[in-house]
Amino acid sequence: MFSLNNHLELRRVTISSLVTCIYLPSIITAISYKGVLYSVGSGSSFYILVLIFVAELVKSFYLSSSNEIQAKRSKGKTRAGDIIKSLGFLLGITFCFFLGIMLFGAPVLDKHEETLMLSSLLTLLTVFPLVAHCGVEPAVQLLFGVKSFNKDTIVAMLVNNALLTLCGAWLGAVVIPLDWNTPWQQWPIPCYLGALGGYVLSNVLTVLKVTMMSGANKYKFLNFFINVINRLHISK
Amino acid sequence: MLFWIQHKWSGLWLLILALGGISLFLYGFFPLKYHSGKLAHMDDLPNFIDGVSIDGHEVYNSGENSVILMVIDGLRYDFVTEEYMPFTGQLLKNKSACIYVSVAEPPTVTMPRIKSPERKKEKAQWRRTINFWRDIFAMMTGSVSTFADVALNFGAPAVKGDSVLRVATSRGRHTILYGDDTWLRLFPGLWTDYDGTTSFFVTDYTEVDNNVTRHLDTVLAPLEDKKPKFDFLVLHYLGLDHIGHLEGAKSPKIKPKLIEMDEIVKKIYAAMQTWDRTGVLIICGDHGMRDAGGHGGASPAEVLVPLVVIKSADFQCPHEQGPGPVVAQVDIAPTIAWLLNTPIPGDSTGKFLPSLLPSDIRQHLYLLHVNAQHNVKQGVPTDTEYYRQFKRAETQFARYLTSGQQSAARIAKEFYDESLIAMSKQLTESTTDFDMFSLGLATVFLYFVVTALACVTLYSLQPDNQRKISITDKHRTNIGSIVAFAIIFAVFGTILTVACFITETKSQFCSFNPLWSIAFLSMVFALTVTYFLIKTGVEKIRDLSMLRELNAIDYLLIIGTLFHAWSFFGTSFIEEEHMTWYFFWNTLMFFVLVRTIVVLVMYFSKRWSGATEVQEKPDLDHRMSAVGVGIVPKWVLLIALHRYLRTMNQTGDRWLFLPDTADWLNAPENSIYLQGHLVFGTLLTLAICLWNIRHMNNYMKFHSIITILATLCILCYRITTNALHSPFEEIKSWDNVLIVEIFWWLLAGQTIFEAITYLGVFKACGYNPNSKFAYSKPKEKSEDYFYDIMEEPWNINDVKLNLARSLTHIMYNQMMLIIVLLMRPHNVIMVPSIYITCLITAKCLDHKLLDARPGRNTEAADILGLTLAHIWIGAVFYFYQGNSNSLASVDLGSGYVGLSEYSPVKVAARMGLHAYAGPALAGAHLFCSLPTSDMNKYLQAVWRVSNIMALQRVYQLVIYCVIAIVFRHHLFVWSVFSPKLLYDFVATVFSVQALLTIAEIVLITHIVSWIARAIIYRRLS
């Protein structure tokens, strides 16, 4: 899916993934060092979302700066309208996540704050990069599989990130019912951390893959690992 | 041998073999035989010692005693000191009391943390019963109880065998209980006087004890002639244990409580002095407690409990100062029995407490002899050293009796003591030991069966043409295969026999007595059969191309099913099995949701943007028609429904006592909503049943009428049981047994009527029923005449198929109605929910939807996916309904619906159908929805489904057997692993029953069609 042809794109993908691999673990380390790791569900941890939001925004600027011609064309005309539209779209997505998470088992009558934080995080990690990269309408088309993204390395990476994030959040729920009686088996901490973990894992895989692809010319056996990673990517 | 693998019901046969295997496993896991239920009698006392005559009754007589057994729950060994219990400590110090270390059996279930609403009290009651069961059982019967004692006493926890109380009552002793009412439920009708207390609230540690103590003053005061009012008094104090649970063993509340207990001891001691006979007070704990509070483990603080013996007069403790010798809990039973001058309870394996044995040497030796003799009668092997020791002791005792030599008496006592210790140990061990040979053999056998089933299933999943090739093999000579069979039979027989001798097992399985030889031979036979099935399977499975048709959802179903069995390696995964299923089911629903959205988007995009050519549109519509555009909102609503049902009953262990929707509905102020649920569920079921009737021969609307009448019966039953209010007051006074009786007759009538209509009886009588299902001659085409003459002149096969479909639907309808009748009011809503879930899921799992590659043969993949999905649905609803893997969650009430007296078979059948309602309904729906284009297709589908179901069942069973063997010494073996094993066994029994029902339906269709052909149509034509 990744092609070596477009070196510029590949470099951008690698660098942005590397940045993610650094900044997200740093945030987690920092908050766990301060001892507030287990409060990620509550509203007081909103600053984490803000940090992620800013980081993703910067990343998306970096990623899409190549399409200068395109950007210029769309600039000026509907910039403000676009932003409002995407904000509204993101809010809608967050609400969908909120409802979906509840449907799939989150407490319905209480813990709304926690569920809302989790759904905002999921929105930030899955849909937001897509919207920031290519706008609302293409994002919708991508989401519903109308538009194929096989040719576009950046979009492929973003979709992969989104899928692994969801997987992480989903698998995080496994540990909640176990009888270990630890403080982090509280809703929604495992899901929250699982989502972050899935996101980081996806980025690590991207970096690894690009590294190996560049090394594969010299060392043929690396192709095997590339194939393995390719299988791990769930997107079609 | 090929015939077996092609046989349509080999899955069922193999499942029955697996049932035999699991029975053998259970036999090895739960030693059953030991509690003989033998009742002791005074005439059992031996009157001759090695030929020397002695008057048993006279020597045995212990004089007049009154015994008080004071059980203090949670009394730890280090609590009986002068610091905590000053009076008792003082008595111990000046040797007028004796202390022993008693080793308690680790209790099975810890006290639940109850914030209990009314409805859950039954569950809590059951847990409490098991909690005290082992200790009370050991103290009163003198034998260690096995899990089978608990499990087989289901619903009626009364002890069936002999006990101190039984012998005491039979000898006319006056027995009184003050304390926990578990004693009453264990020994009903054996108390002369009692006041049972129940304690659901751990927070209450004052009232429970006051309820016991308040009677003491009256009961301890002697009658006018200085006689005490009782012979045997049991006091059970729970307060200490409750404090331990709440605050731990270091709590400041412990000391006042112990001092309170000490005061009671003092009071009793003082009262005993005023009696004209000897009083004996035995104080013991039933288990200790951890420092952190609670119990359930096997640490010394929890297992070591004190046993204090206090006698009112002429008593000097023979033991040294200090911790005292170790005794077992079972020793209490024979001691008390003797003190009451009653025989030792029949199954007792205990010894007399040494300090209470009389100083008179003749009586002392006689008691030891009685004790040893009693043990010998319980099947101690005679070729052992301790048995010979017992014989030597007997000889010495006889010598003492004739000559009066003191040395002989000393030797006899020594010999008796030695042999008694060895015998008790042996008897206790044989009760608790596992029969490893049976366990291992059963597991290996189950592995054979599961492999054979896998072969059969894969074989049946092959496409048709692959199977037809092998028909030529049929004509091979039979003698060859018989010889091959005989050889393999001999080989397996030899292997088993050699295994028996090499392992030197004591297992009954290798005893080669006539009865067990039958089991042995059938095991060899079954092994041979499975061997040949596997062999043929491996040879004949050539084409597994269907596996390529599987999509992501199928893989999820397969991997989830495979993984689920392995998850039981963790105890919390057994206790909280519902969580595993909920997670799987959620994942499946998520996958399907994504799939439906994708399908919908593909449909619209293709319709509007891409291919708008004339020929593609009908194809698109055709492929969408199975689900329709409304599938996405439907599916979301289904997810919401499941979200709601999941909150209905809290189950499992950790969250069992959290409030749930059922609690809310059952609260009196919300009864209107509960009735709403009940009526809505019942009427929806009625609607579904009426809708299903379209598959039947609804002759003169007979079925509709019967269904409506049956539903009315259900509603009337609900009214008579006060679950439903009605404007018609007089219904309340109707007899609910009669109503249920009418209900059964209605259902039976429906089935028979259906079979008769298919016989064509009504046509013969001149009526013309609905022509859709009648026998008729197909239109003869002249050019085909030559071929037609060979075939059936009537459309027999069509009618057969219709009958099969109709009978399946009747079965499904009736099952729904019966389950609606049995369910708790708040659970009635489950029945229509299962139907809706199955219906929508089956549509969404179709392999012919838009996202699949077109034009493939997907029948096998469809069936595989559908079967697994229905198994999942069944499991999920099983837990929605409030079941779990603990014996506490069995709903005993459902067993007695419409019954006026206890009848084991009927109660068991009702309880079983109620507990397994989810799997049963889901399975029945699956059989209803099988493809029905023609009879052969139908039979093939039934074949595949039954194989897959049997495979899943046996697979789970075999993995669990391995787990049970690995964890057989685990602390939770009784509370977690054994109940799950029983549940698995029952599930297997019901799977066999379910597949048998399907087989019966097919059989009935064959029979009806045969009768129709043989009698009626011959005459008509």
| Contact at CB, B586 and A174, closer than 8 angstroms | no
Q: Is the pLDDT reported for residue B770 higher than 70?
A: no
Once rounded to an integer, what is the mean pLDDT over residues B749-762?
78
Class in CATH terms, B63-355: alpha beta
Strands B175-180 and B193-197: parallel
**B613: which DSSP letter?**
-
| Domain spans in chain B, listed from the N-terminal domain onward | 2-30+435-540, 63-355, 576-929
Once rounded to an integer, what is the mean pLDDT over residues B367-382?
81
- Mean pLDDT value across chain B: 82
Once rounded to an integer, what is the mean pLDDT over residues B857-867?
87
Chain A positions touching B296 (Cβ under 8 A) are: none
User: Around Cβ B566, how many Cβ atoms within 10 Å?
Assistant: 14
Judge contact between B316 and B105, C-beta under 8 A. Answer: no
- Phi, psi dihedrals of residue B233, rounded to the nearest 5°: -125, 130
Chain A positions touching B646 (Cβ under 8 A) are: 105
pTM of the model: 0.80
Predicted confidence at residue B511, as pLDDT, reads 80
The full length of chain B comes to 1021
**Which H or E run includes B242?**
helix B239-247
Q: Which residues contact B758 (CB under 8 A, 6 or more apart)?
A: B697, B773, B799, B802, B803, B806, B1008, B1012
Strands B65-72 and B48-49: unpaired
Predicted confidence at residue B109, as pLDDT, reads 41
Q: Which residues contact B66 (CB under 8 A, 6 or more apart)?
A: B228, B230, B231, B232, B233, B272, B275, B277, B278, B279, B280
User: Around Cβ A43, how many Cβ atoms within 10 Å?
Assistant: 10
Predicted confidence at residue B581, as pLDDT, reads 93
Q: Which residues contact B387 (CB under 8 A, 6 or more apart)?
A: B376, B380, B381, B419
Of B111-120, B761-770, B817-826, least confident by mean pLDDT is: B111-120
Give Cα separations from B152 to B20, B157, B160, B230, B378 (angstroms): 19, 9, 11, 33, 22
Tokens describing residue B391: 């014989």
More confident of the two residues B684 and B147: B684
**B1014: which DSSP letter?**
I
Q: What percent of chain B has pLDDT over 70?
A: 85
- Which of B140, B94, B335, B312 is CA-nearest to residue B220? B312
Give Cα separations from B786 to B781, B782, B783, B789, B926 (angstroms): 10, 8, 7, 6, 40
Once rounded to an integer, what is the mean pLDDT over residues B680-687?
94
Query: B676: pLDDT confidence band, cut at 50, 70 and 90?
Result: very high
Tokens describing residue B67: 């015994």
| A144 close to B (CB below 8 A) | yes
- Phi, psi dihedrals of residue B232, rounded to the nearest 5°: -140, 120
| A236 close to B (CB below 8 A) | no
Of A101-105, B113-117, B666-670, B700-704, least confident by mean pLDDT is: B113-117
| Contact at CB, B643 and A105, closer than 8 angstroms | yes
Predicted confidence at residue B31, as pLDDT, reads 65
Question: CA torsion angle for B446, B448, B451, B453 (degrees, to 10)?
Answer: -70
Chain A positions touching B579 (Cβ under 8 A) are: 177
Query: B111: pLDDT confidence band, cut at 50, 70 and 90?
Result: very low
Predicted confidence at residue B156, as pLDDT, reads 54
Residues B133, B135: Cα–Cα separation, whole Å? 6
What are the residues facing B304 on neighbouring strands?
B103
Predicted confidence at residue B113, as pLDDT, reads 37
| Contact at CB, A173 and B590, closer than 8 angstroms | no
Of A103, A146, A173, the CB nearest to B643: A103
Residues B776, B794: Cα–Cα separation, whole Å? 6
User: Around Cβ A148, how many Cβ atoms within 10 Å?
Assistant: 11
Strands B232-237 and B278-284: unpaired
Predicted confidence at residue B788, as pLDDT, reads 42
In 3-state terms, what secondary structure has residue B959? helix
Predicted confidence at residue A169, as pLDDT, reads 92
CA distance B294 to chain A (A): 16
Give Cα separations from B116 to B226, B882, B1017 (angstroms): 46, 16, 66
Query: B117: pLDDT confidence band, cut at 50, 70 and 90?
Result: very low
In chain A, which residue's Cα lies nearest the Cα of B595? A144
More confident of the two residues B698 and B606: B606
User: Around Cβ B637, how many Cβ atoms within 10 Å?
Assistant: 14
Query: B138: pLDDT confidence band, cut at 50, 70 and 90?
Result: confident
More confident of the two residues B241 and B962: B962
Predicted confidence at residue B34, as pLDDT, reads 53
Q: Is the pLDDT reported for residue B297 higher than 80?
A: no
Query: B116: pLDDT confidence band, cut at 50, 70 and 90?
Result: very low
Question: CA torsion angle for B211, B214, B219, B222 (degrees, to 10)?
Answer: 160
Query: B629: pLDDT confidence band, cut at 50, 70 and 90?
Result: confident
**ipTM score assigned to the predicted complex:** 0.89
- Which range among B290-304, B705-719, B924-938 has the greatest average pLDDT? B705-719
Chain B positions touching A146 (Cβ under 8 A) are: 601, 605
Judge contact between B151 and B984, C-beta under 8 A. Answer: no
Strands B97-103 and B193-197: unpaired
Of B155-169, B481-495, B688-702, B767-781, least confident by mean pLDDT is: B767-781
Once rounded to an integer, what is the mean pLDDT over residues B445-472?
79
Of the CA atoms within 13 Å of residue B969, those in its CB half-sphere come to 3
Q: Is the pLDDT reported for residue B677 higher than 90?
A: yes
CA distance B148 to chain A (A): 28
Judge contact between B72 and B282, C-beta under 8 A. Answer: no
- Which of B360, B475, B351 is CA-nearest to residue B423? B351
| A81 close to B (CB below 8 A) | no
| A170 close to B (CB below 8 A) | yes
| Contact at CB, B601 and A146, closer than 8 angstroms | yes
Of A102, A104, A177, the CB nearest to B590: A104
Q: What percent of chain A has pLDDT over 70?
A: 85
**B972: which DSSP letter?**
T
Once rounded to an integer, what is the mean pLDDT over residues B872-888?
89
| Contact at CB, B589 and A104, closer than 8 angstroms | yes
- Mean pLDDT value across chain A: 81
Tokens describing residue B390: 């017992």
Mutate which: B593, B632, B635, B643, vs A, most A CBs within 10 A: B643
Q: Is the pLDDT reported for residue A71 higher than 70?
A: no
Judge contact between B987 and B953, C-beta under 8 A. Answer: yes
Of A50-59, B28-37, B383-392, B506-515, least confident by mean pLDDT is: B28-37
What are the residues facing B308 on neighbouring strands?
B99, B283
Judge contact between B345 and B337, C-beta under 8 A. Answer: yes
Of A103, A177, A178, the CB nearest to B639: A103
Query: A32: pLDDT confidence band, cut at 50, 70 and 90?
Result: confident
Burial level of B779, CB count in 10 A (0-12/13-18/19+)? Answer: exposed
Predicted confidence at residue B539, as pLDDT, reads 85
What is the separation of C-alpha B825 from the centre of its chain, rounded to a whole number of angstroms? 24
What distance, in Å, lies between the first and last C-alpha atoms of chain A?
9
CA distance B965 to chain A (A): 23
User: Around Cβ B484, how many Cβ atoms within 10 Å?
Assistant: 14
What are the residues facing B514 on neighbouring strands?
none
Predicted confidence at residue A94, as pLDDT, reads 93
Of A221-225, B12-16, B34-38, B729-733, least confident by mean pLDDT is: B34-38
Chain B: residues touching A (Cβ < 8 Å): 570, 572, 575-576, 579, 582-583, 586-587, 589-590, 597-598, 601-602, 605, 636, 639-640, 643, 646-647, 654
Give Cα separations from A97 to A189, A229, B247, B831 (angstroms): 16, 28, 43, 30
Q: Is the pLDDT reported for residue B925 higher than 90?
A: yes
CA distance B643 to chain A (A): 6
Q: Which amino acid is at B12?
A: L
User: Around Cβ B966, how many Cβ atoms within 10 Å?
Assistant: 11
In 3-state terms, what secondary structure has residue B725? coil
Q: Is the pLDDT reported for residue B915 higher than 80?
A: yes
Residues B403, B422: Cα–Cα separation, whole Å? 29
Give Cα separations from A3 to A62, A156, A214, B741 (angstroms): 20, 11, 11, 75
Predicted confidence at residue B191, as pLDDT, reads 87
Task: Note the pLDDT tens digit of each residue in A93-119.
Answer: 999 999 999 988 888 888 888 899 999
Query: A235: pLDDT confidence band, cut at 50, 70 and 90?
Result: very low
- Phi, psi dihedrals of residue B273, rounded to the nearest 5°: -65, -25
| Contact at CB, B587 and A170, closer than 8 angstroms | yes
Predicted confidence at residue B292, as pLDDT, reads 63
Size of interface A-B (CB pairs under 8 A): 38
CA distance B120 to chain A (A): 21
CA distance B920 to chain A (A): 25
Q: What share of chain A is helix, strand, coil (3-state, %, to 5)?
A: 75, 0, 25
Q: Is the pLDDT reported for residue B563 higher than 90?
A: yes
Predicted confidence at residue B561, as pLDDT, reads 94
Judge contact between B131 and B108, C-beta under 8 A. Answer: yes
